């Protein structure tokens, strides 16, 4: 008689083992059914679509692109932050565009301040003392400073933020928009910009000046070295200077002389101040040249090493293909990289000629020192301040140097014997020198004063259209952002200003200001935004 366990259909199988078999069979059946089902697409949360770009249609009685002739009854179309069309009455407003009409008014590109510190944090310039090539002005910008509203209300939509003459090498400047916003892509237009230096740090028109001394400084071009015979065969006459340093590695010598003088110094800058600044800046440039030389040698060694390694591996591959024994040759050691040098790396673009060095130099002897360094190291220069630039206009033109005039510098603590001239800008214009206008650095800086400084140059005889180009496109070219702003053209950033009269007339008023496609100032016009 066969024995059966309760609940078991198979003879002699324990109950617990049978239960496990049933569960395993059920699991296998469920897995087979799940595998047979088609895979369901994963429910991924799609990112929300970007908001539609704002479209603006601005029409004015006159549009002055600066880079092209003026357009009567012109119009500009802006999509997002870019200008898409510029023309006359033939341009119709696109659908869903915000239309702003200013009949009888003048539309120009936003003005650019070529040198200011107005947007830096309070006390930032006092903190930046000494030389620090790694210091970046963009890190010290106060994005909540209400000064941008005053600047935009005067037609200034961008500014080159400068650290000023606070050290032999103060740091790197930045170009920012004056439309408000958080620090980042919304505020910064171009950073890092230009490396900034000074011949007389701490003795400029924007800093407290030390007491005067009884030393004077002169720099002579093509002067005979001490002890050499002068023209005519006679020995050089006159008192022997206390310091002589010829320029090396060049047939043309520049003799730097420091001698005692009873003449008062200008703005507290003594002869030894200028000499120390000249030597310190020269040391920095020499360090940049040494770094470039080290990088060049390393690149050459790496190229030779890669060729040798490629040759050895090719020989091994050929030997293997021919069935010959592969010679075991050790690979040559990889060339060591040059020692990291932050200062040399900062000066590398300047030495290579891909960037300009911005140097604060206000007096004639300081400017001559800068030009001497530029000729020695074959670098491109932007000279800021330049109160006595009219005295060396020919040399500036020959060196192809750009100049940023700070008109207020001639009236701020430069000393009684500074040879400032109201015709400084006119002399640069006559010499064919590209110059811009900035409002300066320090506690007295004010970007909103740029238009009034430009009006002063018009009152001194410069053409209004030329001055308008100076504070727009020329300042953009000097700051290195002319491909993005400075004029009204398709593809450029929409930085636009509408005036109710001549743009550089002090009585004219800003009716509308657009920064990167965003309306930041508006008074009047059709379809005014809701308040």
pLDDT 10s digits, 465-481: 999 999 999 999 999 99
Report the alpha-carbon distance of residue 226 to residue 353 in Å, rounded: 34
Q: What is the CATH number of the domain that holds 61?
A: 2.30.40.10
195 found inside a domain: yes
Question: Is 248 a member of any domain?
Answer: no
Q: What is the pLDDT of residue 296?
A: 92
**Model pLDDT, residue 130:** 61
> What is the spatial distance between Cα 274 and Cα 4, in angstroms, rounded to a whole number?
114
The total number of structural domains that make up the chain: 2
pLDDT category at 257 given cuts 50, 70, 90 is very low
**Of 427, 446, 425, 447, the residue nearest 436 (C-alpha):** 425
CA–centroid distance for 230 within its chain: 47
What's the CATH number where 199 sits? 3.20.20.140
Question: How many Cβ atoms sit within 10 Å of the Cβ of residue 13?
Answer: 13
Do 348 and 271 fall into the same domain?
Answer: yes
Residues 6+ apart with CB under 8 A from 276: none
Written as six digits, the tokens of 109 are 């590109």
Structure-model confidence comparison of residues 399 and 227, the more confident one: 399
- What confidence tier does 48 reach under pLDDT thresholds 50, 70, 90? confident
Give the structural domain span for 93. 51-109+486-531
Averaged pLDDT of the chain:
78
Peptide bond into 146 cis (omega under 30): no
Is 207 found in the same domain as 356?
Answer: yes
Q: Which residues contact 144 (CB under 8 A, 6 or more apart)?
A: none
- Whether residue 3 is contained in a domain is answered as no
Do 455 and 351 fall within a single domain?
A: yes
Least confident of 97-111, 145-159, 391-405, 493-507: 145-159
In the chain, what is the greatest distance between 2 CA atoms, to the nearest angstrom? Answer: 147
Do 511 and 448 lie in a common domain? no
CA triplet 336, 341, 347: central angle to 5 degrees? Answer: 120
Are 353 and 469 within one domain? yes
Residues 269, 133, single domain; the answer is yes
Instruction: Assess contact for 374 and 381: CB atoms under 8 A.
Output: yes
Are 436 and 385 in contact by the 8 Å Cβ rule? The answer is no
Q: Provide the total of helices (H) and of strands (E) in the chain, helices listed first.
A: 11, 20
Half-sphere exposure of 363 (CA within 13 A, CB side): 26
49: pLDDT strictly greater than 70? yes
pLDDT at 18: 63
Q: Is the pLDDT score of 250 beyond 50? A: no
pLDDT value for 21:
72
Residue 272's pLDDT is: 74
Residue 346 placed within a domain: yes
- Same domain membership, residue 492 and residue 350: no
Average the pLDDT over 346-356 and give the result. Answer: 93
Same domain, 115 and 91: no
Which residues does 314 contact at the CB level (< 8 Å), separation at least 6?
Answer: none
The confidence band for 295, taking pLDDT boundaries of 50, 70 and 90, is very high
pLDDT over 90 for what percent of the chain? 44
In this structure, are 455 and 528 located in the same domain? no
What is the predicted pLDDT for the residue at 240?
A: 37
Q: Which helix (H) or strand (E) holds 196?
A: strand 195-198
User: What is the distance between the alpha carbons of residues 144 and 134, in angstroms, rounded to a whole number?
Assistant: 24
- The mean pLDDT value for 297-309 works out to 92
Tokens of 149: 């509203």
Rounded CA separation 63/68 (Å):
10
User: How far apart (Å, rounded) are the C-alpha atoms in residues 373 and 395?
Assistant: 13
DSSP state, residue 360: E
Confidence grade of residue 3 (pLDDT, cut at 50, 70, 90): very low
pLDDT attached to residue 25: 75
Please check whether residues 406 and 506 belong to one and the same domain: no
Q: What are phi and psi of 389, to 5 degrees?
A: -65, -30
9 within some domain: no
Highest mean predicted confidence (pLDDT) among 199-203, 317-321, 406-410, 457-461: 457-461
353: how many CB neighbours lie within 10 A of its CB?
A: 11
Asked if 131 and 496 touch (Cβ cutoff 8 Å), the reply is no
Q: How confident is the model at residue 449 (pLDDT cuts 50, 70, 90)?
A: confident
What is the per-residue pLDDT for 168? 87
Give the whole-angstrom CA distance, residue 363 versus residue 408. Answer: 14
Instruction: Give dist(CA 126, CA 141) in Å, integer.
Output: 14
Residue 251 confidence (pLDDT): 37
Which residue has better confidence, 127 or 250?
127
The percentage of residues in the chain with a pLDDT greater than 70, rounded to a whole number, is 72
**Pairing state of beta strands 71-79 and 55-63?**
antiparallel
Q: 113 - beta bridge partners?
A: 159
Measured distance CA(316)–CA(318) in Å, rounded: 5
Give the number of residues written for the chain. 531
For residue 204, pLDDT over 50 is answered with no
In a domain, 12, yes or no: no
**Higher-pLDDT residue of 444, 422:** 422
- Top mean-pLDDT range of 174-188, 347-361, 512-526: 347-361
Please report whether residue 237 resides in a domain: no
Greater model confidence, 443 or 331: 331
CA separation, residue 283 to residues 278, 407, 494 (Å) = 9, 31, 42
Residue 275: inside a domain, yes or no? yes
Q: Cα separation of 170 and 136, whole Å?
A: 9
Q: How confident is the model at residue 138 (pLDDT cuts 50, 70, 90)?
A: confident
Same domain for 99 and 145, yes or no, is no
Asked whether residue 79 carries a pLDDT value surpassing 60, the answer given is: yes
Q: How far apart are CA 439 and CA 409, in angstroms?
A: 9
Strand stretches in 354-487, DSSP E: 357-361, 381-385, 402-405, 435-437
Higher pLDDT, 36 or 281: 281
Based on the domain organization, do 278 and 402 belong to the same domain? yes
Question: What region does 171 belong to: left with phi over 0, alpha with psi -120 to 50, or beta?
Answer: left
Q: Tokens 């060339």: give the residue.
A: 335
d(CA 115, CA 405): 9
Least confident of 128-142, 168-182, 422-436: 128-142
Domain boundary among 440, 458, 481: 481
Return d(Cα 516, Cα 83) in angstroms, integer: 9
| 365-393 average pLDDT score | 93
Number of neighbouring beta carbons within 10 Å of residue 209: 19
Confidence of residue 226 (pLDDT cuts 50, 70, 90): very low
| pLDDT over 70 at 11, yes or no | no
């Amino acid at each position: 008689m066969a024995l059966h366990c309760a609940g078991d259909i198979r003879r002699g199988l324990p109950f617990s083992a049978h239960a496990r078999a049933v569960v395993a069979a059920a699991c296998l059946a469920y897995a087979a059914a799940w595998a047979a089902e088609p895979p369901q697409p994963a429910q991924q949360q799609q990112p929300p679509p970007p908001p539609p770009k704002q479209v603006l249609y601005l029409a004015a009685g006159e549009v002055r692109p600066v880079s092209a002739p003026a357009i009567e009854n012109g119009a500009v179309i802006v999509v997002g932050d870019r200008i898409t069309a510029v023309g006359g009455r033939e341009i119709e407003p696109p659908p869903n565009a915000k239309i702003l009409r200013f009949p009888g008014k003048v539309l120009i590109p936003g003005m650019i301040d070529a040198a200011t510190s107005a947007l830096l944090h309070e006390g930032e310039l006092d903190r930046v003392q000494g030389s620090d090539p790694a210091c970046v002005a963009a890190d010290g910008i106060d994005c909540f400073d209400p000064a941008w509203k005053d600047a935009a209300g005067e037609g200034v939509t961008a500014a080159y933020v400068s650290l000023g003459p606070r050290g032999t090498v103060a740091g790197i400047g930045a170009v920012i928009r004056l439309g408000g916003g958080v620090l980042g892509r919304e505020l910064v237009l171009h950073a890092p910009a230009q490396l900034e230096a000074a011949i007389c740090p701490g003795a400029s028109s924007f800093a407290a000046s030390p007491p005067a001394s009884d030393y004077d400084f002169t720099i002579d071009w093509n002067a005979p070295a001490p002890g050499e015979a002068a023209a005519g065969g006679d020995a050089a006459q006159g008192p022997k200077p206390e310091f002589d340093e010829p320029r090396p590695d060049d047939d043309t010598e520049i003799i730097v002389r420091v001698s005692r003088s009873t003449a008062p110094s200008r703005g507290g800058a003594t002869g030894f101040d200028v000499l120390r600044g000249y030597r310190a800046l020269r040391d920095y440039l020499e360090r940049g040249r040494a770094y470039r030389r080290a990088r060049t040698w390393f690149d050459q060694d790496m190229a030779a090493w890669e060729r040798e390694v490629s040759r050895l591996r090719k020989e091994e591959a050929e030997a293997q293909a021919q069935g010959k024994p592969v010679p075991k040759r050790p690979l040559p050691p990889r060339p060591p990289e040059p020692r990291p040098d932050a200062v040399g790396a900062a000066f590398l673009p300047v030495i290579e000629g891909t960037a300009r060095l911005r140097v604060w130099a206000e007096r004639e002897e300081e400017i001559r020192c800068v030009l001497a360094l530029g000729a020695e190291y074959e670098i491109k220069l932007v000279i800021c301040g330049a109160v006595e630039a009219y005295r060396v206009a020919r040399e500036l033109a020959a060196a192809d140097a750009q100049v940023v005039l700070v008109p207020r510098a001639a009236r701020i603590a430069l000393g009684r014997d500074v040879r400032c001239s109201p015709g400084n800008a006119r002399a640069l214009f006559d010499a064919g020198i590209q110059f811009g206008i900035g409002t300066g650095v320090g506690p007295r800086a004010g970007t909103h004063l740029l238009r009034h400084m430009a009006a002063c140059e018009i009152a001194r005889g410069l053409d209004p259209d030329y001055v308008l180009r100076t504070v727009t496109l020329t300042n953009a070219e000097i700051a290195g952002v002319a491909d993005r702003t400075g004029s009204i053209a398709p593809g450029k950033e929409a930085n636009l200003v509408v005036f109710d009269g001549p743009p550089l007339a002090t009585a004219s008023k800003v009716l509308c200001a657009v920064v990167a496609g965003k309306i930041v100032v508006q008074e009047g016009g059709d379809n005014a935004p809701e308040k």
